[in-house]
Each structure stands twice: as structure tokens, then as C-alpha cells.
């Protein structure tokens, strides 16, 4: 039969208590971590839900802005361009002033100045299409930060779009 000495019994008892204490500490630490992680996630979700109506309106505005700038950049019809330009001005001095962030407003203003400044559709060495892409890029960045999502960088250039059209 197996016999155990008192010294060995004390060692086993101490090892058992150390393991039990470590288990309790690890379990308590994990519980605290998951609790605070859950609180943080709920806070971020609540914040996003509170911003959702604003961000949804902003998304609609950005879709309209990018649609108008692309239409103005590629159209050859002067009446269609004039109508789109009027709509762009309405958006710039109305909803965009309220909803758009500064980088988007600056990109739209650069595009508008370029379109208004010249009849041959060139501006400071840039094609209006490049400026329209800059408006879209700034809108994309603003959407990503507003919705707290990661949108991978897909650099679309005017030259790449021209190659795709061919």
C-alpha cells in the first residue's frame, strides 16, 4: 500500500492551494476583461446607433455629390453640365455645409472652381475627372471614419479609368 509522509502531504497541499489561487486569479481576470470588453463594445454600438441617422444622410449626400461631379467631369452636353452644376451648388450651400466634413467640402470646392474657371475643362494642370475622383476619395475616407469601418485603399486614378473604358 502507498503511504505518504507528512512533508509530502504539506507539499501537495501547498501546490494544490497555489494552483487553486492561480486559477481563481486567472478566472477573475478573464471575467473582468470580458466584462469591460463587453462594455466597450456596447458603448461603441450605442454611439454608432446614435450617429446612424446623421451618417445615413451624409452617405446619401456623398452619393449625390460624387454622382454630380462625375457627370460634370465627363459630359459633353453643356445644358446637362449646367443643370448638374446648379444641383451641385444647391448641395454645396445647403446639405453639404451641414453634413460634409471639411476635406470633402474642400475637394468639392476645388472641383467647382475648376469647372467654372475654364471652358476647355483643364484646371491647374489637372483634368476635372481627377478632381472628381478626389471628391469621391474624400467621401470614401469620411464614410469610413464616420461608420467606423475599414475600407481597403483601392487607389483609382483617372488614367486607370481611361484604360478600363478602352
pTM of the model: 0.67
Cα separation of 51 and 43, whole Å?
A: 12
Binning pLDDT at 50, 70 and 90, where does residue 104 land? Answer: very high
State yes or no: pLDDT of 105 exceeds 70: yes
Q: Tens digits of per-residue pLDDT, 52-86?
A: 898 899 999 999 999 999 998 888 888 998 899 89
In a domain, 19, yes or no: no
In a domain, 45, yes or no: no
In a domain, 12, yes or no: no
State yes or no: pLDDT of 165 exceeds 70: no
Q: What is the DSSP letter of 94?
A: T
* Residue 88 CA to its chain's centroid (Å): 23
Q: For the stretch 10-38, what's the b/e string if a residue is b when 16 or more beta carbons lie within 10 angstroms of its beta carbon? A: eeeeeeeeeeeeeeeeeeeeeeeeeeeee
Would you state the pLDDT for residue 39? 94
- What is the arithmetic mean of pLDDT over 99-121? 82
- What is the arithmetic mean of pLDDT over 135-143? 89
How far, in Å, are 43, 45, 78, 79, 146 from residue 49 at the CA level? 10, 6, 43, 42, 12
State yes or no: pLDDT of 164 exceeds 60: no
In a domain, 70, yes or no: yes
- What is the arithmetic mean of pLDDT over 19-39? 95
Give the SS3 label for residue 159.
helix
How many structural domains are present in the chain?
1
Cell of 87: 444641383
Binning pLDDT at 50, 70 and 90, where does residue 122 land? Answer: low
* Backbone φ and ψ of 126, nearest 5°: -110, 140
Q: Which range marks the domain in which residue 97 is found? A: 51-165
In a domain, 112, yes or no: yes
Give the SS3 label for residue 152.
coil
In a domain, 140, yes or no: yes
Amino acid at each position: 500500500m502507498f503511504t505518504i509522509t507528512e512533508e509530502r502531504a504539506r507539499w501537495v497541499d501547498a501546490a494544490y492551494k497555489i494552483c487553486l489561487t492561480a486559477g481563481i486569479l486567472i478566472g477573475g481576470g478573464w471575467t473582468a476583461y470580458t466584462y469591460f470588453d463587453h462594455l466597450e463594445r456596447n458603448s461603441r454600438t450605442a454611439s454608432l446607433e446614435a450617429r446612424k441617422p446623421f451618417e445615413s444622410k451624409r452617405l446619401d449626400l456623398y452619393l449625390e455629390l460624387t454622382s454630380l461631379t462625375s457627370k460634370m467631369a465627363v459630359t459633353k452636353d453643356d445644358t446637362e453640365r449646367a443643370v448638374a452644376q446648379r444641383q451641385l451648388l444647391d448641395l454645396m450651400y445647403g446639405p453639404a455645409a451641414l453634413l460634409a466634413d471639411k476635406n470633402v467640402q474642400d475637394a468639392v470646392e476645388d472641383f467647382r472652381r475648376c469647372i467654372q474657371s475654364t471652358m476647355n475643362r483643364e484646371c491647374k494642370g489637372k483634368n476635372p475627372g481627377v478632381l472628381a475622383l478626389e471628391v469621391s476619395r474624400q467621401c470614401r475616407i469620411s464614410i469610413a471614419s464616420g461608420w467606423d469601418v475599414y475600407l481597403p485603399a483601392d487607389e483609382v486614378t483617372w488614367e486607370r479609368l481611361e484604360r478600363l473604358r478602352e
